[in-house]
Amino acid sequence: MSTLQSLNAPAKVNLALHVTGRREDGYHLLETFAVFTALGDRISAEPDDHDSFSIDGPEAGPLRGEASGSNLVARARDALREAARADGHAAEPVRLHLDKHLPVASGIGGGSADAAAALKLLARLWGYQPAPEKWRRSGFKLVRMFPCALPAGH
């Protein structure tokens, strides 16, 4: 019986996107109206003896040279594991795989969708359901990596 689990990370299309202000920390406040598509990337995870991350797919090329720990999927794993362990959950090592179909830096939410799917998938795999505040803190650690969350003026 395989323990491999997978989840789609759909692309988003912004029908409207407005910068509505600036937060105290310098990040933009955004207002958006978006729809999600049937197209997207796919994240897979399964327990393993040690953490690993791999990527393939037709749009994987630009990401192959980056360190595996810098990808948002791996950062999502690390942030959720930190929250889980703080709550007394083991959050065992996993093998993560990203099947990349969305173009990198295209503005359709590929990286953020991948991170969100990884968080959801790992929570299910680890049997960990964090409180809403834990979700917010884990997500905030990642939001600094999203292009739309760059400090104003960058």
Amino acid at the residue 19 = V
- The pLDDT of residue 148: 42
pLDDT digits (tens, 9 = 90+) for 113-140: 898 899 989 999 999 988 777 776 666 5
Q: Would you state the pLDDT for residue 56? A: 92
Q: Do residues 116 and 142 make contact, with C-beta atoms less than 8 angstroms apart?
A: no
Q: How many Cα atoms occupy the beta-carbon half-sphere of 34 within 13 Å?
A: 16
CA neighbor of 130 nearest in space, from 92, 76, 80, 74: 80
pLDDT tens profile 49-70: 999 999 999 988 888 777 666 7
pLDDT digits (tens, 9 = 90+) for 12-47: 888 998 999 998 888 788 888 888 888 899 999 999
CA distance 47 to 11: 27
pLDDT of 20:
92
By the 10 Å C-beta count (0-12 exposed, 13-18 middle, 19+ buried), 73 is classed as buried
Give 2's pLDDT tier (boundaries 50, 70, 90): low
Please state, as a whole number, how many other Cβ atoms lie within 10 Å of the Cβ of residue 69.
Answer: 11
- Interatomic CA distance for residues 39 and 17, integer angstroms: 21
Closest alpha carbon to 42 in 9, 81, 80, 16 = 9
- Give the model's pLDDT for residue 121: 93
